[in-house]
Amino acid sequence: MNVIIDLVLCVIIAASLAIGLKVGFVKIAAKPVKFVLALVIAFAVCSTVADMLIVPAIEQPVASYVSDFLYENCAGLTAENAGEELPTLLKIAAAIFGIDIAEAASGATSVIDSIAESLTAPVVDVVSVVASFFLCYFALKILLGIAFMIIDKIFEIGVFSIFNKALGLLVSGALGVVLAWAVAVVLEIVFKLPVFESNPTIADFEGGFIYRFFNTYNPMELLLSF
């Protein structure tokens, strides 16, 4: 069992090294970098994009829909009965967005128009920001994907290719070591569970050299020791 677990840990590290050498650093870094950059930029610009593109596109249709719905189904709404007669779904929406129905119904315009206007504004704001965030995120993922594709092609030429593969080998190998260490730590925790302690094979298990190394001098402790 000691040999098998050490072999598994070696396979994890060797596979990581092989992947890093084959695909190179640019492809390894592309996914996390694209994700983080797209996320950060999308968060930064989604409000601006919402105000410029989404709000003008959906504000009037949403307002018209809510107003038409109220006129068709709640024609008898007044400032006095709006809190009771308003459909449950709209009451929930008002509660979520902190809208006082009685106050909204006492607007200068008609009761229905006033309520529709009060409900439309926050709904449009939320929907537009969420929609613009996803729009920006996926658009940035595509643009960054194209950018990394070009960079990867550049790093397939001459000395750049050697540098790309060497750095990919180092980075992927380091990730493989961390992954193997995590597997060893998890196994150590699992083997100490009461359900396994009664098993003679596992109770006497000490682990091979690599397994013991990871549980004695794990990469995090070695890093923090400097």
Query: CA-to-CA distance for 11 and 24, rounded, in angstroms?
Result: 19
Q: Could you read off the pLDDT of 114-173 as tens digits, one per residue?
A: 777 777 777 788 888 889 999 999 999 999 999 988 998 888 888 889 999 999 999 999
Backbone angles phi, psi at 160, to 5 degrees: -60, -35
Question: Using an 8 Å Cβ cutoff, are 86 and 115 in contact?
Answer: yes
Question: Using an 8 Å Cβ cutoff, are 114 and 105 in contact?
Answer: yes
> Does the pTM of the predicted model rise above 0.85?
no
Q: Could you read off the pLDDT of 175-218 as tens digits, one per residue?
A: 998 899 888 888 877 777 666 666 666 656 677 788 888 877 76
Question: Using an 8 Å Cβ cutoff, are 51 and 125 in contact?
Answer: no
How many helices (H) does the chain have, and how many strands (E)?
11, 0
Q: How far is CA 106 from CA 59, 73, 112, 158, 176, in A?
A: 22, 19, 10, 74, 65
